Amino acid sequence: MSQAFTDQIALVTGASRGIGAATAKSLAARGAHVLLVGRTTGGLEETEEAIHQAGGTATIAPLDLADGDSIGRLAAAVGERWGKLDLLVLNAAMLGTLAPVPSIDAKEFSRLLTLNVGANQALIAAFDPWLRQSAHPRLIAVTSSVGQEPRAYWGAYGASKAALENLALAYGDEMEGLGDLRVAIVDPGATATAMRKDAFPGEDETKLKQPSVVGEAIADLLASDFATGSRIRVTA
C-alpha cells in the first residue's frame, strides 16, 4: 500500500470504534502516526493495538471532547512533541434522541450541539497553529445527509451537522491564500455503525457497508489533491 502519509501526524476523533477507528487504521497503514481521540480508553487501546499489529504507529488520547481545557492541553502536547499537525478528521458525534422539533429536550440538545459543533470549533481553534506548521494540512469533517436534506424527527442531529459543515468550510475559506490548508466534507452514507443501529434498530446490517470502506475512502480523499469545499458521499 502507498505510504502517502509518511512522517505525517494525523488526529482522528471518535477513534475508539466505527468510522473513526477504521479511518485511523487506514491512515496508519499509509504511514501516518495517528493520534486516537475518544472517551472510551478500552476502545482506543483496541484501535491502537490493531494499528501496531499491522505495522503502524499510533498514540491514544482519551478525553471528553466537551471539555475545552482538555482539547487545549492535547494541542499543547502535540505542538511540543511534533510541532505540527498534518491531518485532522472531525468524526466524533452523538445522535441524540430522534424526536419532533417541538419535543426536542433542551438539555440534550445543548449537549448534542456542544459535542457535534462546539467541540469541533474548539479543536480547530486549538490545532490551528499546528496545522499552519504543516506543509500541506488537510481537514475532513464527517457529516450526514440530514445536514443538507432535512428529515422528520432528525432536526436536532441534522441541525448540528449543517452547522458543522458551515463551520468547517468557513475555516477553509478563511485559510485560502494563507497556506495550503484544504477542507472537505465526507458523508459516509448508510454504514454498519453503533450509531446507525441506534437510529434504525432491527435493520439488516449485512446490507450496509462496513466502516472500513468509509475509512479507506477518507484516506483516499486525504491522499488526493482535492480543493477546499469538496464533498463526497461514500456509496460503496
Is residue 67 predicted with pLDDT exceeding 90?
no
pLDDT of residue 1: 59
CATH no. for residue 43? 3.40.50.720
* 19 close to 188: Cβ distance less than 8 angstroms: yes
Instruction: Please tell me the predicted confidence (pLDDT) of residue 25.
Output: 98
Q: Number of structural domains, the chain? A: 1
Q: Is the pLDDT of residue 79 over 90?
A: yes
The per-residue pLDDT for range 111-161, each reduced to its tens digit, is: 999 999 999 999 999 999 999 999 999 999 999 999 999 999 999 999 999
4 part of a folded domain: no
Does any domain span residue 1? Answer: no
Active site residue 171: no
Residue 104 within a domain? yes
Residue 10 in this model has a pLDDT that exceeds 90:
yes
pLDDT at residue 179, as a whole number: 82
In a domain? residue 3 = no
**Per-residue exposure over 101-120, b if at least 16 CB sit within 10 Å of its own CB, e if not:** eeebeeeebeebbbbbbbbb
- Going by C-alpha positions, the residue among 13, 11, 53 that lies closest to residue 29 is 53
Rounded Cα gap, residues 12 and 157, in angstroms: 20
Candidate list 5, 130, 154, 157, residue with the active-site label: 157
- Domain contains 78: yes
d(CA 121, CA 152): 27
> How far is residue 114's CA from residue 120's CA, in Å, rounded to a whole number?
9
- In sequence order, what are the residues at sequence separation of 6 or more whose Cβ sits closer than 8 angstroms to the Cβ of residue 172? 139, 181, 182, 183, 228, 229
The verdict on residue 73 lying in a domain is: yes
Average pLDDT over residues 153-173: 97
In a domain, 197, yes or no: yes
Whether 27 contacts 3, CB under 8 Å: no
- Over the stretch 94-115, which tens digit does the pLDDT of each residue have? 999 999 999 999 999 999 999 9
The per-residue pLDDT of the chain, averaged, comes to: 95
Is 116 inside any structural domain?
Answer: yes
pLDDT tens-place string over residues 186-204: 999 999 899 999 998 888 9
| Residues of the domain holding 38 | 9-233
